[in-house]
């Protein structure tokens, strides 16, 4: 284990493997996926499998040589050493001089005792602190589920409202939707993130303050959206209940103890976050409280267990069999060498309908960087526009552009084999559609056979990610798989995937705009219009 960062040149394009990939990409332009897919052993060669997952990347525009060169590139970028640095708590978040230890949040999830091998950050044993805080959070979740935790009137909780945004919201919404069959029917989960107040209004409209519990999730506790929503929720609660209700009906998860004090969050109702966990990597921490209440402590541990298994696989499997390494490298190939501008994520299970939105933050906030770790402009493309919707809805919406439009994209199809509802035949129809779409995107339909408007150019690369069934363990594995694939790409591109300075400028400017909107004086341009139309 190392706590040093591996040495890495800032520019991967100087490496022989990069240049060889560039030449090879030129050769590959002449090949169509039709030429590759029918080859014997194609599936065997471009398929990686673990006990839990299958990654079929046989419909990528790759040959054995492509794979070999990508693996060379990973080696030359010191991927193995970076993985070691990530897990061992080295300061991989270089602009903030911090480790990124989300993996410690899910290591040994079933064990509440501090583990024998400590992992120190700033003199503190991270594993021991995580384990203690997790047990406290899960005990509270169990009490709430059992009706033992009551509000100020003595009534048990029937509704939990998570107030948070970005990483303090997206993973929780996604997982709660994905794991609906595992959620208790006795307590409903609600999510409020957006600034404009409509989401809050719509949620509160249905609720009874005496049986409602709010969880303020905010690593910083300074995020404007969360603060406004939390203050409005507090005012709503106190319309019917006495001041002491705040201490019973609000919980919080944050690194900011002073702000939790100021809001009136009691010691038993607050959970710590740590600077060494990035917001978008935090659903494994007490930020997951609403999910732990919904699915229960055992299933929450199963979610962590799945993620822990993926981490173990990532750390130990050979690169050519390693799912996150392959997923990451395929992404680099498509982005940098085949010029794919966007990546579409297509879960063939409606329960995963928020997975593309979750991945948007994970990937675009992590990899949307134009400057390398040593502060130089990247002279190559990084990051990818991520978008998507569940199939088969997506087929009846934007697949026309995928099949016959002029945009360049790659795709991931994601599906459990077993149905997530009682309608197994319908799920099978969905799987058939998924396979057909992957095939149609790859093979297309050539000009010889049909008139021009019926031509499908094909040659669109995609992967299929398959798992047995959607449950907490596989969901943990799936999320961790994408997290680690993001890390792989960050290493190739030499960017820091754990900061997000690009979101700050707009926040600062919004403060000025707020002042301009509230001031009585004359305002320029569209601000004047807003002020005029706001008057009754
Ligand atoms: O503005 C982006 C961001 O900082 C995300 O990275 C983060 O997940 C989100 O805001 C919410 O931040 P917090 O948990 O501190 O409220």
Q: Which run of H or E residues covers position 463?
A: strand 462-467
Q: Could you please report the per-residue DSSP string of 231-261?
A: HHHHHHHHTTS-TTHHHHHEEEEES-HHHHH
Mutate to test the pocket of ligand 1, among 223, 282, 501 (most ligand atoms within 8 A of CB): 223
pLDDT digits (tens, 9 = 90+) for 340-374: 999 999 999 999 999 999 999 999 999 999 999 99
Q: Which residues have CB under 8 Å from 440's CB, separation 6+?
A: 403, 456, 458
Burial readout 32-59 (b: 16 or more C-beta within 10 A, e: otherwise): bbeebbeeeeeeeebbbebebbebbbbb
Instruction: Give the closest residue (by CA) to ligand 1 atom 16.
Output: 218
What residues have CB less than 8 Å from 509, skipping those under 6 apart? none
Half-sphere exposure of 45 (CA within 13 A, CB side): 17
Residues 6+ apart with CB under 8 A from 521: none
For ligand 1, say whether the CB of 219 is within 6 Å of any of its atoms. Answer: yes
Q: What's the pLDDT at 110?
A: 65
Q: Report, in this order, helix, strand and coil percent for the chain, each rounded to 5.
A: 50, 10, 35
**Closest listed residue to residue 358, CA positions, set 345, 369, 342, 368:** 345
| Ligand 1 and 503: CB distance under 6 A | yes
Any atom of ligand 1 within 6 Å of the Cβ of 168: yes
Q: Is the CB of 282 under 6 A from ligand 1?
A: no
CATH 3.40.50.10490 maps onto the chain at 33-85+317-493, 102-299
Tell me if the domain spanning 33-85+317-493 has CATH number 3.40.50.10490. Answer: yes
Helix H segments across 147-196?
170-178
Q: What's residue 111's pLDDT?
A: 57
Q: Identify the H or E element spanning 490.
A: helix 472-493
Which stretches within 42-125 are classed as H helix? 42-45, 64-76, 79-87, 102-105
Closest CA to 251 of 277, 282, 218: 218
pLDDT number for residue 446: 84
117 is catalytic: no
pLDDT score, position 522: 82
Dump the DSSP string for 315-347: HHS-GGG-HHHHHHHHHHIIIIIS---EEEEEE
Structure tokens at 522: 């004359």
406 by DSSP, 3-state: which?
Answer: coil
Output the CA 165–ligand 1 centroid distance in Å.
6
Out of 205, 396, 453, 522, the active site residue is: 396
Residue 422: partners with Cβ closer than 8 Å, 6 or more residues away: none
pTM to 2 decimal places: 0.97
Cβ neighbourhood burial of 507 (10 Å; 0-12, 13-18, 19+)? exposed
Determine the pLDDT at residue 1. 44
Q: Which of 186, 507, 528, 529 is catalytic?
A: 507
Range list of β-strands (E), 103-181 = 120-121, 124-125, 159-163
Picking from 462, 470, 175, 476, the residue whose alpha carbon sits closest to that of residue 346 is 462
Give me the residues of the chain with pLDDT under 70, please: 1-3, 109-116, 449
pLDDT at 450: 82
Q: How far is the CA of 167 from the centre of ligand 1 (A)?
A: 6
Any ligand 1 atom below 6 A from CB of 463: no
Residue 507 falls in the annotated catalytic set: yes
The predicted pLDDT at position 122 comes to 85
Return all residues near 324 (Cβ < 8 A) that are at least 6 apart: 310, 313, 314, 481, 482, 484, 485, 487, 488
For 241, list phi and psi in degrees, rounded to 5.
-120, 155
CA 167, CA 175: separation in Å to the nearest integer? Answer: 12
| The CATH fold of domain 102-299 | Rossmann fold (3.40.50)
Strands 120-121 and 124-125 come out as antiparallel
Active-site residue identified among 365, 369, 389, 427: 365
């Amino acid at each position: 284990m190392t706590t040093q960062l591996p040495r890495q040149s800032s520019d991967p394009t100087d490496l022989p493997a990069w240049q060889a990939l560039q030449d090879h990409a030129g050769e590959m332009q002449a090949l169509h996926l039709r030429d590759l897919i029918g080859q014997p052993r194609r599936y065997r060669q471009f398929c990686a499998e673990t006990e839990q997952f299958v990654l079929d990347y046989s419909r990528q525009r790759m040959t054995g040589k492509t794979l070999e060169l990508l693996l060379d590139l990973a080696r030359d970028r010191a991927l193995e050493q970076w993985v070691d640095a990530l897990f061992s708590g080295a300061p991989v978040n270089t602009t903030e001089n911090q480790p990124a230890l989300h993996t410690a949040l899910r290591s040994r999830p079933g064990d509440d005792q501090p583990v024998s091998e400590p992992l120190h950050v700033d003199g503190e044993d991270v594993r021991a602190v995580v384990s203690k805080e997790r047990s406290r959070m899960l005990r509270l979740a169990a009490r709430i589920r059992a009706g033992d935790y009551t509000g100020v009137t003595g009534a048990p909780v029937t509704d939990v409202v998570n107030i948070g945004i970005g990483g303090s919201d997206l993973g929780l919404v996604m997982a709660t939707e994905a794991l609906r069959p595992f959620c208790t029917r006795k307590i409903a989960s609600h999510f409020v993130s957006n600034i404009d107040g409509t989401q809050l209004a719509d949620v509160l409209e249905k609720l009874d303050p005496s049986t409602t519990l709010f969880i303020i999730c905010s690593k910083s506790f300074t995020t404007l959206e969360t603060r406004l929503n939390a203050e409005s929720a507090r005012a709503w609660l106190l319309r019917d209940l006495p001041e002491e209700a705040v201490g019973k009906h609000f919980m919080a998860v944050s690194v900011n103890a002073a702000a939790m004090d100021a809001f009136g969050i009691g010691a038993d109702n607050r959970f710590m976050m740590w600077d060494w966990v990035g917001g978008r990597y935090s659903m494994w921490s007490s930020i997951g409280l609403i999910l732990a209440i919904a699915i229960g402590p055992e299933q929450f541990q199963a979610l962590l267990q799945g993620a822990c298994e993926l981490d173990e696989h990532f750390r130990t499997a050979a690169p050519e069999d390693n799912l996150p390494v392959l997923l990451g490298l395929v992404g680099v190939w498509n982005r940098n060498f085949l010029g794919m501008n966007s990546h579409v994520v297509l879960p063939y299970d409606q329960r995963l309908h928020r997975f593309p939105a979750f991945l948007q933050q994970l990937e675009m906030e992590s990899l949307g960087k134009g400057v390398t770790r040593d502060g130089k402009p990247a002279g190559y493309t990084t990051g990818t526009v991520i978008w998507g919707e569940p199939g088969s809805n997506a087929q009846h919406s934007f697949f026309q552009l995928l099949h016959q439009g002029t945009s360049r994209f790659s795709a991931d199809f994601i599906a459990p084999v077993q149905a997530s509802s009682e309608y197994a035949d319908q799920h099978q129809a969905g799987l058939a559609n998924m396979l057909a779409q992957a095939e149609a995107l790859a093979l297309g339909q050539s000009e010889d056979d049909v008139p021009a408007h019926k031509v499908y150019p094909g040659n669109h690369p995609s992967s299929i990610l398959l798992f047995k069934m959607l449950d907490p363990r596989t969901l943990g594995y799936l999320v961790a798989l994408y997290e680690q694939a993001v890390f792989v790409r960050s290493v190739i591109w030499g960017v820091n995937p754990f900061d997000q300075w690009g979101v700050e400028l707009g926040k600062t400017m919004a403060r000025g705009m707020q002042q301009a909107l509230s001031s009585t004086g004359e305002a320029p341009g569209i601000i004047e219009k807003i002020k005029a139309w706001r008057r009754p």
